Amino acid sequence: MSKAVKLALTLSAIAMVAGCQTAPKPLYQWESYQPQVYEYFKGESKEEQVEALERDLQKINASGNSAPPGYHAHLGMLYLSMGKDDQMVQQLRTEKALFPESAGYMDFLLKNAKTGDVK
């Protein structure tokens, strides 16, 4: 076998193996989280934002994926602005449990929410 044939076979084998690899699974499933944050800053309806985020959260959980960092915290802050304190606390605690690095900030928000200093 000539060098050119060996090289062609080797390159073909490498291409076949590389083509069989699958893309890595994303770490988080975002759904409409980012557009909802944008809507929040535009001052759009908080009720509609909560509905969209809750609907997306059900999709994320049903598919076995994870919500991104900040998702539950944002949802909690929306609940707070609607006067739904119990749901706010639940979401902030979920954020803290899923992302321990946020514990300090979540504790700060929870403490200030009880005193009415969170806006």
Q: What is the CATH number for 100?
A: 1.25.40
Specify if 48 maps to a domain: yes
82 in Cβ contact with 47 (< 8 Å): yes
Ordered alpha helix ranges (H), 1-119: 3-20, 33-42, 46-62, 71-81, 85-98, 103-115
| Pairwise CA distance, residues 88 & 91, whole Å | 5
- Full residue range of the structural domain in which residue 90 is found: 28-115
> Is 17 within the bounds of a domain?
no
Asked whether residue 10 is domain-assigned, the answer is no
Q: What per-residue confidence (pLDDT) applies to 110?
A: 93
The total domain count for the chain is 1
Is residue 108 a part of any domain in this protein?
Answer: yes
In a domain, 18, yes or no: no
Q: What is the pLDDT along the chain (119 residues), one digit of tens a residue?
A: 677 777 777 777 676 666 666 777 777 878 888 888 888 888 888 999 999 999 999 999 999 999 999 999 999 999 999 999 999 999 999 999 999 999 999 999 999 987 666 65
Q: Note whether residue 19 is domain-resident.
A: no
What confidence score (pLDDT) does residue 115 get? 67
State residue 116's pLDDT score.
64
Is 65 inside a domain boundary? yes
- pLDDT at site 42: 84
Residue 118's pLDDT is 61
**Spatial separation of the C-alpha atoms in residues 30 and 40, rounded to whole Å:** 16
Residue 23 lies in a domain: no
